[in-house]
Amino acid sequence: MSLSSISPIDGRYENATSSLSEVLSEHALMKYRVKVELEWLRYLANSKLEGIRAISSEENTFIDGWLASYSLEDSEWIKHIERMTRHDVKAVEYYIREKLQVSSLIELGEFVHFACTSEDINNLAYAMMLRDAVKNHWLPAAQNMVSAVSSLAVNTRSLPMMARTHGQPASPTTLGKELAVFVYRWQRQLKQIANLEYLGKFAGAVGNFNAHTSAYPDANWREIAKNFVENTLDLTFNPLTTQIESHDYIAELFHATVRFNQIALGFAQDVWQYISVGYFKQRVIAGEVGSSTMPHKVNPIDFENAEANFGLANATLNHLASKLQISRLQRDLSDSSALRNIGVGIAHGMIALGSLTRGINKLEVNEAVIQADLEHEWALLAEPVQTVMRKYNLKGGYERMKDLTRGETVTKAVMHEFIHSLEIPENDKQRLLELRPETYVGLANDLVDVILEGNA
């Protein structure tokens, strides 16, 4: 960790985000650009177009080794060139040509960056960066967090708990069912994120294959570009663009991620409140300090940290999702500057996911407090009593229960006296008399199965 880092992403939280540097740093961007350029050179060489020879097996091995061994020193080499060119993608092209000097591929040097605009290289590099960051890093972290909450939900599915609507005592539920609500919401967002396409364009300066057709007017450039983007780079081809890929898929990805994060932020706030009322205890970690002056405290810092970082992630991702969909005429450069911050939004999300998962794994359910909350809340049975009264068309059931319970302390004896006074069939009366606050949970237990079905 560098104490001189401006951003906590690369400073205080470096351990939580360092794995992302291989896919979202400037070094990673250069590496992916080099991959696009070399794969395009290889693709052209195998296209049988006039004037370019095929690549030998030894030369293919050379390219494979080059890509596999690409290092920070290569990126520093590119940065050195960029200081002279003042153009980042042109620096990549010159770097590749220089490295080809030691290979028989030097005679193909003029086909490096052939018919490409810098955005052809950049949009494909960013698409691969995002794909690999989400699928290999963010999604596993998100799924791990959701799995932890899912396990807790299943384990507490039968634990009765007083609900709170508007912060006030409300009809009982179970702790597991309330946790399962969040799991179900996350599952829907994860399914959308996992199925999103990562688009790429490869059609030249303004998206029309102008340069391509000037050199090879009879080639099927639309098909060539589609095959390259989809079969070589494993992306989805965008067939109709200006100079830039329109970034709609990035907006779709970031908006879905924002929804996931916002659900998680709400979860962190709810758990914080459950901790504050004693429903959860936090496992004590030896050596940790909760307060600099109050030795007894075990603060819910993991949930507070998660809340802050989900908020920061969403602020960045929301801005990028809105900004990137707009480009003046055939292009302007503002998207290029904005795209350099995709790692910021994803990294804050990763920090939050790590904190939330850590906090969840330290939770211990305090059943005694949860049960004590329910024991004295006999007024919660006003709902089933007035509902059964409606069933038998007893007039003013709601109003009568309101008069009995609102603002009053309702004991078991008071509730049973009222139930005994009702002129309803004996079987329903007996069923109401057998109800207790902790047994009035409806189908809460069974509803937890929904999240298990979602994982099937």
Q: Known catalytic residues? A: 166, 291
At position 71, the amino acid (one-letter code) is S
CA distances from 353 to 182, 191, 195, 454 (A): 14, 17, 21, 21
DSSP, residue by residue, 134-168: IIIIIHHHHHHHHHHHHHHHHHTTT-EEEEEETTE
- C-alpha 394/C-alpha 396 separation (Å) is 7
Instruction: Burial-class residue 312 by CB neighbours within 10 Å (0-12, 13-18, 19+).
Output: buried
- C-alpha 157/C-alpha 249 separation (Å) is 38
DSSP, residue by residue, 317-332: HHHHHHHTT--STT--
If we measure between CA atoms, which residue out of 348, 352, 405, 408 comes closest to residue 382? 405
Work out the number of other CB atoms within 10 angstroms of the CB of residue 124.
29
- C-alpha 347/C-alpha 310 separation (Å) is 10
Structure token digits, residue 419? 């139930």
If we measure between CA atoms, which residue out of 320, 302, 304 comes closest to residue 257? 320
Which helix (DSSP H) or strand (DSSP E) does residue 96 occupy?
A: helix 88-100
* Contact predicate 346/320, CB 8 Å: no
At position 379, the amino acid (one-letter code) is A
- C-alpha 364/C-alpha 282 separation (Å) is 6
Handedness of CA 192, 36, 125, 336 (dihedral sign): negative
Structure token digits, residue 199? 């688009």
329 Cα distance to chain centroid: 32
Structure token digits, residue 272? 């914080």
- C-alpha 46/C-alpha 108 separation (Å) is 12
